[in-house]
Amino acid sequence: MPLLEGLRLALSQIWAHKLKSFFSLVGVIIGITFLIAVITIVEGMNRYVREDFAGSIFGINTFTVVRRPSIQTGRTTEEQRRRYARNPRLTLHDVDVVRRSAPPGVTVTWDSDRGFDQVRYGERERKNIRVVGASEGYATVQGWEVARGRGLSPLDERRGLKVAVIGPDIAQRLFPAESPLGKEIRVGPYRFQVVGVFEKRGGLLGGIWDAAILLPFSAYDETLSRDPGKLDEISVKAPTEKAMNDAMSAVEGGLRADRRLRPARDNNFQLQTSSGLLSAWNKINNVLLTVLPGLVSIALVVGGIVIMNIMLVSVSQRTREIGLRKAVGARQSDVLVQFLAESSVLSLVGAGLGVGIGVGLARIVHALTPLPASTPLWSLGLAVALGVVVGLVSGVYPASRAARLDPIVALHAE
Amino acid sequence: MDATRDLVIMTRGLTKDYQMGSETVHALRGVDLEIRRNEYIAVMGPSGSGKSTLMNLIGCLDTPSGGEYVLNGQAVQDLDDDELARIRNREIGFVFQTFNLLPRASSLHNVELPLIYGGVGSAERRERAEEALRMVDLGDRMEHKPNELSGGQRQRVAIARALVNRPSILLADEPTGNLDSATSAEIMAVFEHLHKNSGQTIIMVTHEYDIAAHAERVITLRDGQIESLDADITVPHAVAQ
Ligand SMILES: Nc1ncnc2c1ncn2[C@@H]1O[C@H](COP(=O)(O)OP(=O)(O)O)[C@@H](O)[C@H]1O
Ligand SMILES: [Mg+2]
């Protein structure tokens, strides 16, 4: 039988038993859905980490000193967590220590984050903004570009000026029709003069910073800080990776000496690099990609067995039809092709539904969370190939049984 | 000389045994048969005498246990599965007692079926299927499904299917067995027409004398053997005994 005829027949057969076909495909659908959804999210994450995260948010060749890790890699034990909690909070004194111990040529900045708050200008208001107090140079190290006005200057810091550089989302919300430069905004009871607006960043974490307000650390410390005198992190940016590594050991030594830690004691601070975060992501990524084939295979094997059973039932229900086809001239290979086409098309329909649902799920995740989603073309090809293979493999036994039926016996079957 | 050239079917010592557990059923015990082109033959005989078995062998649906079968000059008993399928497709038109139509397919598609396996392209397929349906007077029932047709119409669809590939023989195993007498007459009229106007060779199994009476020659079987190659059925008890 020509393949085309087989495919046509297969489609009409599947359509005639829509519900049964659908339920027989649950295994394949789940397998492919999972495959596509995971690949989509992993690929999206990878792209994000490569293009967005590693470079700009965290800064290239930058490390930070923090009290406890901001992103945990692996599992944190209860004991570790208690130890982090005992670590002293960072202060401006630590900034001095870092500055003194770091080799020349690096840039040291620091910041403290008040968390979410709201900002007003006249009647207008923007909620859920981030208020950050930072040293001069912080924005540059973070890779934030100023679009209008200016960034923070050493003078702002020294004089304790109540000035602010605001994110583009805030500028748009509070100053839809006028220039924000020179205007006074209010956070809580405090007023700050807008001196600049940052470039829009977008993306996963960038979105948060688009609605942030950056204040000189001194002004922040005496107004909005929840914990005056304390800061969240000290960032050190080096010109090269090697310089960064050198600076890290120097800073580590300097802080340990300043805190009088004996050699046997662990650091009571943490050094973080973006490569540490990258390796954390790579770990998660590896786990996902290791379990993925296993889980997908299980679902597909189960799906294949279900399809095989459905096909066996179909062959036995259609024994007379097979007998008739043989009586009018169908060869064994014709019957084989017919049933293989049916199982393959069936499985392919399942794979198609799986792709649709998988992409849909990834889209939903993308819409509801900041997780990016990107479905690579090869994963669609993989889904189609897997669909065909599962269909062919699970169809071989039922189809060859159908093909080998004796025409007379088949014709007289009930 | 002329006689052998016109021979469509020739069997010599044809036997068929079925194994039923430890017992062997001798369904055919050496059948010698010659059938010429454009003959119209009825096969009669008591139930279990081997009529269907003989039809299945002639129709290449089954292979003999012994003996020879020559169809259109070709020895069939040694052919493999694919070659038999090809002969069923090209040389044989089979009409069954129970019609055996695909229930979800239209008349047209049912009739097209042998052409699909014959490798005929879809445009020609449709044309020839329509022509075959018109020949059995179903030109206005092409798109009907079997359950939208009467018994007689269904059997006519089956006849159109049997004829669509222009086979050298039309085999019918009790074609009117499931039909009332009025509808049976309708089917007999079709056979009559095919025999007279298209020169079709027809072999038909029946146990009804008035049906058999339409044929030119009546062959009777008994216990797997030929009882008569040209029975006189105007004296019914001669066969019934
Ligand atoms: N597939 C089979 N297996 C075993 N015995 C069979 C089979 N087909 C037919 N027979 C036996 O062969 C004999 C002839 O059967 P059949 O050709 O169907 O007779 P008829 O058509 O004349 O009624 C019967 O005894 C029947 O029981
Ligand atoms: Mg019979």
CATH number, domain of B51, equals 3.40.50.300
Q: What CA–CA distances, in Å, run from A340 to A1, A287, A311, B45?
A: 12, 36, 9, 43
Q: Would you say residue B138 has pLDDT above 70? A: yes
A390–chain B nearest CA distance, Å: 27
Neighbours of A24 (CB within 10 A): 24
Pick from B112, B209, B197, B125: nearest CA to B162: B112
End-to-end CA distance of chain B: 37
Q: How many helices and strands in chain A, by DSSP H and E?
A: 16, 12
- Report the chain B residue with the minimal C-alpha distance to residue A333: B82
Q: Would you say residue A61 has pLDDT above 90? A: no
For residues B174 and A214, what is the distance between their CA atoms, to the nearest angstrom? 96
Interval A134-162 mean pLDDT: 88
Express each pLDDT in A309-337 by its tens digit: 999 999 999 999 999 999 999 999 999 99
**Which has more pLDDT, B202 or A6?**
B202
Q: Would you say residue B92 has pLDDT above 80? A: yes
Q: Would you say residue B108 has pLDDT above 90? A: yes
Q: What is the bridge-based pairing of β-strands A107-121 and A124-134?
A: antiparallel
Q: What is the pLDDT of residue A93?
A: 94
**Domain tally, chain B:** 1
Interval B52-71 mean pLDDT: 96
For residues B165 and B129, what is the distance between their CA atoms, to the nearest angstrom? 9
For residues A345 and A338, what is the distance between their CA atoms, to the nearest angstrom? 11
Pick from B69, B49, B51: nearest CA to B172: B51
Q: Which long-range contacts (CB under 8 A, 24 or more apart) does A149-154 make?
A: A149/A181, A149/A194, A149/A195, A149/A196, A149/A197, A150/A195, A150/A196, A151/A196, A152/A195, A152/A214, A152/A215, A152/A216
| Six-digit token string for B89 | 């497709």
Helix, strand, coil % over all residues of chain A, rounded to 5: 60, 15, 25
A72 falls in which pLDDT band (50, 70, 90)?
Answer: low
Distance (Å) from CA B141 to ligand 2 centroid: 30
Interval A179-183 mean pLDDT: 93
B158 close to B107: Cβ distance less than 8 angstroms: no
For residues B41 and B203, what is the distance between their CA atoms, to the nearest angstrom? 5
Interval A119-132 mean pLDDT: 89
User: Minimum mean pLDDT among A3-17, A249-263, A348-362: which range?
Assistant: A3-17
User: Minimum mean pLDDT among A12-21, A67-76, B73-82, B130-139: which range?
Assistant: A67-76
**Which has more pLDDT, A79 or B157?**
B157
B14 close to B68: Cβ distance less than 8 angstroms: yes
B240 falls in which pLDDT band (50, 70, 90)?
Answer: very low
DSSP state of B61: S
| Six-digit token string for B20 | 């039923």
User: Minimum mean pLDDT among A95-109, A114-128, A248-262, B33-47: which range?
Assistant: A114-128
Please state the length of chain B.
Answer: 241
Express each pLDDT in A371-387 by its tens digit: 777 888 999 999 999 99
Q: Would you say residue B52 has pLDDT above 60? A: yes
Q: What is the pLDDT of residue A19?
A: 86
Q: What is the pLDDT of residue B118?
A: 94
- Which neighbouring-strand residues pair with B26? B17
- Of B62, B104, B117, which has the smallest distance from its Cβ to A328's Cβ? B117
Chain A contact present for B113, CB below 8 A: yes
Q: Would you say residue B241 has pLDDT above 70? A: no
Q: Would you say residue A14 has pLDDT above 80? A: yes
Q: Whole-structure pTM over 0.80, yes or no?
A: no
Q: Would you say residue B62 has pLDDT above 80? A: yes
Chain A contact present for B99, CB below 8 A: no
Q: What is the pLDDT of residue A397?
A: 97
Express each pLDDT in B165-175 by its tens digit: 999 999 999 99
Nearest atom (ligand 1) to Cα of B56: 17
User: Minimum mean pLDDT among A34-48, A152-166, A237-251: which range?
Assistant: A34-48
Please report residues of B whose CB lies closer than 8 A to that of A329: 85-86, 88-90, 114, 117-118, 165
Q: Which residue type occupies B46?
A: P
Express each pLDDT in B211-235 by its tens digit: 999 999 999 999 999 999 998 877 5
Burial class (CB in 10 A: 0-12, 13-18, 19+), B139: exposed
Q: Would you say residue B157 has pLDDT above 90? A: yes
| Range from A223-237, A361-375, B178-192 that averages highest in pLDDT | B178-192
A188 falls in which pLDDT band (50, 70, 90)?
Answer: confident
Q: For residue A230, give every residue at least 6 positions away whose Cβ sits within 8 Å of its Cβ, in sequence order, or none.
A: A89, A90, A91, A112
Provide the residue ranges of all domains of chain A, joining segments of one domain with +. 3-53+278-411, 109-230
A273 close to A252: Cβ distance less than 8 angstroms: no
Please report residues of B whose CB lies closer than 8 A to that of A328: 88-89, 94, 113-114, 117, 161
DSSP-H helix ranges across chain B = 2-5, 51-58, 81-90, 107-117, 122-135, 151-163, 181-197, 209-212, 236-240
Pick from A383, A407, A192: nearest CA to A300: A383
Question: Considering just the CA atoms, what is the radius of gyration of chain A in Å?
Answer: 32
**Which has more pLDDT, A23 or B65?**
B65
- Residue that the structure tokens 């590896």 belong to: A286
End-to-end CA distance of chain A: 25
